[in-house]
Amino acid sequence: MNAVEVRGLSRSFDGREILRDVSFSVGHGEIFGYLGPNGAGKTTTIRILLGLLAPGAGMVRVLGEDLTSNDEARRRVGVLFENNGLSDRLSAADNLAYYAGLYDVEAPKERIDELLTIVGLADRRDDLVGTFSTGMKRKLGIARAILHRPEIVFLDEPSSGLDPGAQRMVRDLILDLSRREEMTVFLNSHHLDEVQRICSTVAILAGGRIRAFDSVANLTRASGRPTVTVTLTDPGEHARARDIIVSLPYVAECDADSGALLCTLTDPGATPDLVEALVRAGFRIEEVRRSSRSLEEIYLEYVNPAEGRV
């Protein structure tokens, strides 16, 4: 059983179809990225998953349950929307204590102390949240979302409105908490660099439909024949090395005119064999790099054609 199952989900507002036949799944323990432009329906999907909105059609399950009718299952879920859910007139510790009471958290003081230390706010525990920066509030909001040790946490644009330094801080925090708390993370974001760095699987939503759903590794793998760039310690040996490389049965072509050796392979798994052949021939290798595409390129490839149509 997956942590999240979505099958044939559709939803309309005022006669306009926002989601159409959306299907994807999220495995337990994954950091899953849900991508799409503003207004694509990402937050609508999360609200349906959480039982806050009814689907127009289709099936959704979180931890195998329908959250609209299962209070016990909802206690196993954490959520952070763009609003952090914090009171500016309470201290960091008092904010968490309030939610600890709502969730009946065991040993609340110890849990609050643990989380404030993890998110780097232990020295500000007694300060009013109204004095915090946007990044500090976001960190405390994440602590609030996982206070009750949920099995899955939904983070809706956790880096929205943050400067690059604060974005990195939040990204590192999500990675650390995922490992430390062993929870599934459902990340709704349009910060593609952030998603590529921390997510194992992504779905791209555009025009109300899922345009791509795969692992980040598969999506960013270079299309067509794999290419490998090899740089030798002695650039003067590139021409001689090329003569050897083109004689190998798994090499389609090799260009030595760019200051490095750009090799096109017929076998995606042949890179180690290529390196071994060069080392056996006495060449010293400075760098070996496989070609790949960025998640941004993949995203734009799917989103641009879908913009403006459903």
Handedness of CA 277, 280, 284, 287 (dihedral sign): positive
Residue 207 clears pLDDT 70, i.e. is over it: yes
Q: What is the DSSP string of 14-31?
A: TTEEEEEEEEEEE-TT-E
Q: Which class would CATH give 4-220?
A: alpha beta
Mean pLDDT, range 59-76, rounded to an integer = 93
Summary count for the chain: helices (H), strands (E): 11, 13
pLDDT band at 306 (very low <50, low <70, confident <90, very high): low
Residue 293 clears pLDDT 80, i.e. is over it: no
255-289 pLDDT, tens digit each: 886 679 999 888 878 889 999 999 999 999 999 98
Contact call for residues 166 and 134 (beta carbons, < 8 A): yes
- Domain range annotation of the chain: 4-220, 227-290
Residue 234 clears pLDDT 60, i.e. is over it: yes
Q: Which residues of 105-131 are buried (b: 16+ CB within 10 A; e: fewer)?
A: beebeebbeebbebbebeebbeeebee
Look up residue 67 and give its DSSP letter: T
pLDDT value at residue 181: 83
- Mean pLDDT computed over every residue of the chain: 90
Mean pLDDT, range 48-52, rounded to an integer = 96
pLDDT value at residue 307: 57
> Which of these ranges, 22-31, 217-226, 272-281, has the smallest mean pLDDT?
217-226
Q: What residue has token string 């232990």?
A: 122
Contact call for residues 125 and 97 (beta carbons, < 8 A): no
Q: Which residues of 90-102 are buried (b: 16+ CB within 10 A; e: fewer)?
A: ebbbebbbebbee
Residue 305 clears pLDDT 80, i.e. is over it: no
Percent over 70 (pLDDT), the chain: 96
Higher per-residue pLDDT: 93 or 307: 93
pLDDT value at residue 309: 47
For the chain, strand residue ranges (E) read 4-13, 16-26, 31-35, 57-62, 77-80, 152-156, 184-188, 201-206, 209-215, 227-232, 251-255, 261-265, 285-290
pLDDT value at residue 69: 86
pLDDT value at residue 310: 42
Q: Which CATH number fits domain 227-290: 1.10.274.50, 3.20.20.80, 2.60.40.420, 3.30.70.100?
A: 3.30.70.100
pTM (two decimals): 0.78
pLDDT value at residue 301: 86
Residue 3 clears pLDDT 90, i.e. is over it: yes
37: Cβ contacts below 8 Å, ≥ 6 apart: 190, 206, 303, 307
pLDDT band at 308 (very low <50, low <70, confident <90, very high): very low
Mean pLDDT, range 54-82, rounded to an integer = 93
Mean pLDDT, range 61-75, rounded to an integer = 92
Mean pLDDT, range 42-58, rounded to an integer = 95
Higher per-residue pLDDT: 284 or 83: 284
121-173 pLDDT, tens digit each: 999 999 999 999 999 999 999 999 999 999 999 999 888 778 888 888 888 88
289: Cβ contacts below 8 Å, ≥ 6 apart: 228, 229
pLDDT value at residue 38: 84
Distance of CA 218 to the CA centre of its chain: 14
183-201 pLDDT, tens digit each: 999 999 878 888 988 999 9
d(Cα 241, Cα 262) in Å, to the nearest integer? 11
